[in-house]
Structure 1
């Protein structure tokens, strides 16, 4: 663990910082500095994120930036810290957790927090080593930007740096640091931490900070007789419901939806054992460590509600009434299905709602699950059919041709009064050609382990515009190879 007394080089990256989370006071964090890594090198850089931060290209490509984003140099104006939180892991209260391998550099004047993940031991590392490995850092870097390009709320990623410093997981691997960005990294677990310790003063300070910074409308609401804390709970529930609808529609599995991995802003956060579906299997478990299937794809919406209930319990001392707290969660139950159906209608090229839509969607999902039809390829091919391609390109994905034909007749009838061009445009903008499949990430990782980072750059370029055709890169949108099903992603990273 690097203490504040240790001398490190200070570099000026041209960014200006504001107090942000650190203004809450020492009960919420520990000040410390990242632990340096030997001989760092660039693995991947995200120029668009750098521009959003106000970091110019020359500074971003400099040795100073490499040192700063590896934790080897201190960024001028920052107050580096690790935050404390608690949480439920796999449904069981885990007690105190915290940033065990992440250190917050600070918040920029533009309102974005910048955090180094994999930057060394903190007081909250427990039995961990404070490091991240190259494979998981590449996966988070790419998936953060993939989700953003899909329009799904998420933390972002600025860069990945690597080092040959060894890290032991199931085997010896090499170290990496991913620099990630978000308006805030506050989680449900931050509230659970102070509620569990009956520290109501800190709990209130945290809630007030979140309301004033991110949910100011809660101060003037007439909901719940003007109870701002109940209004906060309702707003978080609604954002979470919309997020889960987007996950389910695109076929994204998070893999480790612990309460400490749930963002208070409804962002996708903490990319560990995630996966985009290949074959459509509602019961798919992407996390090799999840032996009970708690976080299977079809369980995610219910788990999100369970996590929100934990947040409601944490906020109860502020809300003051259990019935009001429960009522603040109710909108999740209507917003999730409505948002999900709206997303699926867009995927089907249906601009307006009809009572026929829900059975059309349910029948299709049953067909896809019956044969585990490749989820991204099905949707993209269907989009191309509406744009004028031969319907056989979709029909050939099914063994049960009669079943598909019956569904396709219903689909065609539903489109009878819809402009084909309008429907095709909606579908091609809703059904990505490129998603971060496990095997694509694995290929980029293996190349990077050989010091060839071109695969990371190529994938980033494709995933930043996933709805475009990108001629010449069809292999990145094809069926996964047989060996892809043998990839195991666990909580160890």
Structure 2
């Protein structure tokens, strides 16, 4: 473990002055308090102005001398009231019980009040913790840029996610496959509590702490469950519905998470922990975005089922709360089963919107399934196929859409069925196109776009990260640079991402 940098506490009280430390109040069984290990001579890489505004911070927050934000968000100092801590959790990784895990390279700084309620701030990459499992607790510039950009890209797509406020970096060397340099991402969310937090206390038979955690979460993050006859069942039901919606969101934009372990699943239904993620280019239902996932457990088409598998693990973790109260566990199973209807309904809702359909018809499922089969057969670009379909009229097939498909006869046959379906609701081409363009993005964070920003940053130029951030925050608007929304170049086919990403 590297020696931590000297930790300063500023004598002035720069905003935000009031920090909440609700998780810290749970007690030592839930976390370890410790300072961050800072980075010498840090520099700003990028910041999210939109997120800072949502926190209620002034536009120049990062430049204010009395805030010393660069030092704080690099782990070299704390603002008054902050209590940095690493939380303990466990989990299943690639389907197997992995035992105790925990925040191996993340530190919760505390919570700040915002107009949307308290938000937790967390440093990722600020050094080793008791849960690092022989790791160095650091994050590298490469993976930090990917997480920063994708967090904000998902927010732009209106998909529930943890957010990223800033990246700072230094020349501190970090060994991965090669020697790289260190960076710290400041992450923001209402809560970073995971399925794995509950699994930890269930599997270690700490039932009092399990109940304490469940009560804490319900009180602060799911208060509507308090009025239920069985609050813990209501909690599971809530997480089931949120997870089903999140899985539908991912499938609808062609997003692959890559590491859907239970310790990477949010109790708030947020996209959590951006590692070897990927937005699909050519559509392949069996696509595996994680080069380390040799069995394809987390392939695109398997994500919904893995979401259900993970929820089952969460239900098992909550079962002791029912047994200890002399209650039958059957209601937990019933709550879990609601996923089987919630997910298909959520996905169908999104797919109808992507096709510009405003009514429900029995034929819609077959129409959608056949469109996806047509795309898969041609390995048509996922994002562009839906985006270009929005330009279809009753009289014309857009040439750019036809260019994505080899089998023109099959495409023409499907489009004929699609037009017939649109006629059932007297669809207006112009209005339908506007609706479709509002839900089918022009730009997603493709791997080659992230790679371009990473290569520039590694050479000391952070302008591409900042430029790309602005584009990704408005994904439904055609970008000024056409290449941001184009089919990836040939060299992008050789890019691979793994768990170290």
1:25-80 Cα deviation digits (max 9, x unpaired): 11100000110111111111111111111222222234611111110111221111
1:480 and 2:488 are equivalent in the alignment: yes
Which among 369, 379, 399 is matched to residue 372 of structure 1? 379
1:354 and 2:355 are equivalent in the alignment: no
Preserved CA contact (<8 Å) 1:13 1:55: no
1:99 and 2:103 are equivalent in the alignment: yes
Q: Separation in 1 of the partners of 2:113 and 2:282?
A: 44
Which among 435, 448, 452 is matched to residue 443 of structure 1? 452
Preserved CA contact (<8 Å) 1:218 1:232: yes
1:224-249 Cα deviation digits (max 9, x unpaired): xx111011011101100000001001
SS across alignment from 1:194: helix
| Alignment match, 1:419 | 428
Q: CA deviation at 1:19?
A: 2.3
Higher mean C-alpha displacement, 235-244 vs 54-63: 54-63
Q: Separation in 2 of the partners of 1:152 and 1:176?
A: 25
Alignment gaps of 5+ in structure 1 = none
1:352-394 Cα deviation digits (max 9, x unpaired): 1111110100000101111110111111111123599752221
The structure-2 alpha-carbon separation of the partners of 1:25 and 1:40, relative to structure 1 and needing over 3 Å to count, comes to same
1:35 and 2:37 are equivalent in the alignment: yes
Q: Separation in 1 of the partners of 2:197 and 2:176?
A: 27
Q: Separation in 1 of the partners of 2:499 and 2:38?
A: 24
| Alignment match, 1:383 | 390
1:285 and 2:293 are equivalent in the alignment: no
Preserved CA contact (<8 Å) 1:13 1:65: no
Preserved CA contact (<8 Å) 1:98 1:124: yes
| Alignment match, 1:189 | 196
Q: Separation in 2 of the partners of 1:390 and 1:75?
A: 59
The structure-2 alpha-carbon separation of the partners of 1:5 and 1:377, relative to structure 1 and needing over 3 Å to count, comes to closer
TM-score (norm 1): 0.96
Q: Separation in 2 of the partners of 1:13 and 1:489?
A: 40
Q: Separation in 2 of the partners of 1:198 and 1:337?
A: 35
Q: Separation in 2 of the partners of 1:12 and 1:143?
A: 32
Preserved CA contact (<8 Å) 2:153 2:472: yes
| Alignment match, 2:211 | 204
Higher mean C-alpha displacement, 419-428 vs 161-170: 419-428
Alignment gaps of 5+ in structure 2 = none
SS across alignment from 1:58: coil
Q: Separation in 1 of the partners of 2:167 and 2:80?
A: 20
Q: Separation in 1 of the partners of 2:394 and 2:83?
A: 53
Q: CA deviation at 1:351?
A: 1.3
Which among 16, 19, 24 is matched to residue 17 of structure 1? 19
| Alignment match, 2:139 | 132
Q: Separation in 1 of the partners of 2:341 and 2:171?
A: 50
| Alignment match, 1:245 | 248
SS across alignment from 1:59: coil
SS across alignment from 2:390: helix
The structure-2 alpha-carbon separation of the partners of 1:449 and 1:6, relative to structure 1 and needing over 3 Å to count, comes to closer
TM-score (norm 2): 0.95
SS across alignment from 1:485: helix
SS across alignment from 1:107: strand
Alignment of 1:394-405 (within 5 A): 394-405=401-412
Q: CA deviation at 1:102?
A: 0.3
| Alignment match, 1:256 | 259
Q: CA deviation at 1:447?
A: 0.1
1:244-280 Cα deviation digits (max 9, x unpaired): 0010010000000000000000000000000000000
Q: Separation in 1 of the partners of 2:207 and 2:77?
A: 37
SS across alignment from 2:362: coil
Alignment of 1:211-230 (within 5 A): 211-221=218-228, 226-230=229-233
1:431-462 Cα deviation digits (max 9, x unpaired): 00010000000000000001111110111000
1:174-208 Cα deviation digits (max 9, x unpaired): 10000000000000000000001111110001000
Preserved CA contact (<8 Å) 2:283 2:381: yes
Higher mean C-alpha displacement, 89-98 vs 7-16: 7-16
| Alignment match, 1:489 | 497
1:461 and 2:460 are equivalent in the alignment: no
| Alignment match, 1:312 | 315
Higher mean C-alpha displacement, 56-65 vs 165-174: 56-65
Alignment of 1:63-82 (within 5 A): 64-82=68-86
| Alignment match, 1:147 | 154
Structural RMSD (CA): 1.6
| Alignment match, 1:60 | 62
1:85 and 2:94 are equivalent in the alignment: no
Preserved CA contact (<8 Å) 1:146 1:463: yes
Preserved CA contact (<8 Å) 2:255 2:278: yes
Preserved CA contact (<8 Å) 2:43 2:70: yes
